[in-house]
């Protein structure tokens, strides 16, 4: 069986080092050169001929992170790697997954096409913004589930009156999976937006009186929706409000919003690097989950054992 080599773009090296350590292999060496005009020239500093290569990089802005990943994929294929698996803990541009207004791009599909065109043989990611994005790829995709990270932590809190809440209608399926596992009830915060990152109005569907409410979502950006939903839940009688979110994008005034909110805590993963600080943010690592998935893919085993089933 061919040997495994794990590499990383510079943006996600902090996570790649933990994944490689959990897997039991050192992170491969990549040299990052940049021309004076900003053009990138990353290349592998060791042979990958005949190897199963895993390249780790989340594709969050700036676009250089995605461009670097494409260059590394192309470099691996041209260096005769046997198989190139692209590990994208956070798949950026996934919020643009349909034509919700005239004359807009479907960016998620474009990103999928670019990864395939660059030479990726397989994609591994976690908690896509919408499950149907898996269908945008014409190569195998392993879609890992963040519940295996969050459920053990939520168990440790020993909450007696636990209830789950979706901060919007789109997250009902994800929230229902948590509620089913804990045999708990769920509510929905129905929101209306005027424009991106700005909530115009919100109402609660369900009763949260005296409950310890856990909000569930795939990503948090400015925190406006989450903080507004938390305030609404408290206003309706919730005893406490927490949030578990896989991807902490946390842009704009997100840290300030979270710190000043009624949230007890915001639990996220390290799929993205933190750009600020808040006493309410707790980070759980997804390194072990990805390391186990890499091992199973290399050994041609099913990854279904990595999912927590209700």
The predicted pLDDT at position 194 comes to 59
Residues of the chain within CATH 3.40.50.2020 domain(s) are 4-144+288-306, 147-284
Per-residue pLDDT reduced to its tens digit, 48-70:
999 999 999 999 999 999 999 99
pLDDT reported for residue 100: 86
Query: Is 252 known to sit in a ligand binding site?
Result: no
Is 191 part of the annotated catalytic residue set?
A: yes
Angle between helices 107-118 and 64-78 (to 10 degrees): 30
> What phi and psi, each to the nearest 5 degrees, are found at residue 296?
-65, -40
pLDDT tens track for 99-135: 988 999 999 999 999 999 999 999 999 999 999 999 9
List, in order, residues 6 or more apart from 126 with CB less than 8 Å away. Answer: 89, 90, 143, 144, 145, 146, 246, 269, 271, 286, 289, 290
Q: Report the CATH architecture of 147-284.
A: 3-Layer(aba) Sandwich (3.40)
Instruction: Determine whether domain 4-144+288-306 maps to CATH 3.40.50.2020.
Output: yes
Is 38 known as a binding-site position? yes
Residue from 191, 211, 228, 292 carrying the catalytic annotation: 191
**pLDDT of 308:** 77
| Mean per-residue pLDDT, 248-253 | 95
3-state secondary structure of 189: strand
pLDDT band at 171 (very low <50, low <70, confident <90, very high): confident
Mean pLDDT for 74-81 is: 98
Q: Is 265 annotated as a binding residue?
A: no
pLDDT mean across residues, the chain: 93
CA geometry: angle at 25 spanning 62 and 301, to 5°? 90
Task: Identify whether the C-beta of residue 271 lies closer than 8 Å to the C-beta of residue 90.
Answer: yes
**Does residue 192 register a pLDDT over 70?**
no
């Amino acid at each position: 069986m061919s040997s495994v080599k794990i590499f990383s773009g510079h943006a996600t090296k902090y996570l790649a080092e933990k994944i490689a350590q959990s897997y039991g292999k050192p992170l491969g060496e990549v040299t990052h050169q940049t021309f004076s005009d900003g053009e990138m020239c990353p290349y592998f500093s060791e042979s990958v001929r005949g190897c199963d290569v895993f390249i780790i990089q989340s594709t969050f802005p700036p676009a250089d992170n995605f461009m670097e990943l494409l260059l590394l994929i192309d470099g691996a294929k041209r260096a005769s790697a046997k198989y190139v698996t692209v590990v994208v803990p956070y798949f950026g541009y996934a919020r643009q997954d349909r034509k919700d207004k005239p004359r807009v791009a479907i960016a998620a599909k474009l990103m999928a096409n670019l990864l395939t065109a660059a030479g990726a043989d397989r994609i591994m990611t976690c908690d896509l913004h919408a499950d149907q994005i898996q269908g945008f790829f014409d190569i195998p995709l392993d879609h890992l589930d963040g519940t295996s990270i969050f459920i053990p932590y939520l168990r440790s809190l020993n909450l007696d009156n636990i209830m789950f809440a979706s901060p919007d209608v789109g997250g009902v399926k994800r929230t229902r999976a948590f509620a089913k596992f804990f045999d708990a009830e769920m509510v929905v915060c129905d929101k209306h937006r005027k424009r991106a990152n700005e909530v115009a109005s919100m109402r609660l569907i369900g009763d949260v009186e005296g409950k310890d409410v856990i909000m569930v979502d795939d990503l948090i950006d400015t925190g406006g929706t989450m903080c507004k939903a938390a305030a609404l839940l408290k206003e309706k009688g919730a005893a406490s409000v927490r949030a578990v979110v896989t991807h902490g994008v946390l842009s704009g005034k997100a840290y300030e919003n979270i710190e000043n909110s009624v949230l007890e805590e915001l639990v996220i993963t390290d799929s993205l690097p933190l750009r600020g600080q808040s006493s309410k943010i707790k980070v759980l690592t997804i390194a072990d989950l990805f390391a186990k998935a890499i091992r199973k893919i290399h050994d041609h085993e099913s990854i279904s054992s990595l999912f927590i089933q209700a």
